[in-house]
């Protein structure tokens, strides 16, 4: 198994308790650079892999394949952790790596554990409240939308379909013992206040 592990925005005290446990229990820990290495070093040794910041897609692909093969040697029989700054599902190298692992090593199970995201960390550092709706983008045209506190998910999905959205996921009572996940045609009429609806074009 390979676990993409979020380390938060860079403060070692913002690692989650689960992150600390996974770092100590994993068969091997990998990181993409010096900052991530500094965050995990109080808990265990880690191997630095090359994830280049470049526009050369060929070179990026070569590095991804080498990294996938290196990690697969551990993840095929045990638990490998790739520990990254921020959150592994949020504009992250981990998603691209997973695509390569699925191609080259489809037998390996993949999962993620969240970290404190740069969005919530930014609000704290800047001393501002994000109480209103807002748009997050890396400069490209957004293809997804997230609605919080969704009480009528099926009705909301129908409205979003009229705006060109076609795929939906509802998570109700996230990470609680009674958490439920619904997709597309299975969306319920009503949901708990603690629900999030994801829509993709």
* Interatomic CA distance for residues 198 and 201, integer angstroms: 10
Q: What is the CATH number of domain 2-119?
A: 3.40.1010.10
| Number of Cβ within a 10 Å radius of residue 89 | 15
Which helix (H) or strand (E) covers residue 197, if one does? strand 195-200
* Interatomic CA distance for residues 14 and 19, integer angstroms: 10
User: Is the pLDDT confidence value at 158 over 90?
Assistant: yes
**Which pLDDT value is given to residue 115?**
94
> What pTM did the predictor assign?
0.84
- At 167-188, the pLDDT tens digits run 999 999 998 999 999 999 999 9
- At 70-116, the pLDDT tens digits run 999 999 999 999 999 999 998 888 999 999 999 999 999 999 999 99
Q: Where are the domains of the chain?
A: 2-119, 144-200
Q: Are 87 and 6 in contact (CB under 8 A)?
A: yes
**Which pLDDT value is given to residue 52?**
85
């Amino acid at each position: 198994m390979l676990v993409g592990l979020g380390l938060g925005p860079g403060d070692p005290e913002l690692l989650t308790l689960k992150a600390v446990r996974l770092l100590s229990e994993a068969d091997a820990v990998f990181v993409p650079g010096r900052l991530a290495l500094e965050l995990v070093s109080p808990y265990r040794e880690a191997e630095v892999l090359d994830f280049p910041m470049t526009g050369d897609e060929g070179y990026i692909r070569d590095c991804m394949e080498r990294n996938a093969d290196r990690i697969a040697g551990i993840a095929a029989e045990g638990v490998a952790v790739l520990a990254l700054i921020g959150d592994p599902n949020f504009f992250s190298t981990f998603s691209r790596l997973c695509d390569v692992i699925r191609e080259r090593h489809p037998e390996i199970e993949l999962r993620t554990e969240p970290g404190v995201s740069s969005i919530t960390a930014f609000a704290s550092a800047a001393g501002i409240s994000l109480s209103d709706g807002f748009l997050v983008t890396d400069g490209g045209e957004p293809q997804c939308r997230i609605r919080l506190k969704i009480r009528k998910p099926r009705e909301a999905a129908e409205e979003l379909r009229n705006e060109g959205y076609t795929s939906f996921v509802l998570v109700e009572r996230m990470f609680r013992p009674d958490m439920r996940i619904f997709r597309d045609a299975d969306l319920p009429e009503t949901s708990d206040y603690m629900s999030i609806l994801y829509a993709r074009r």
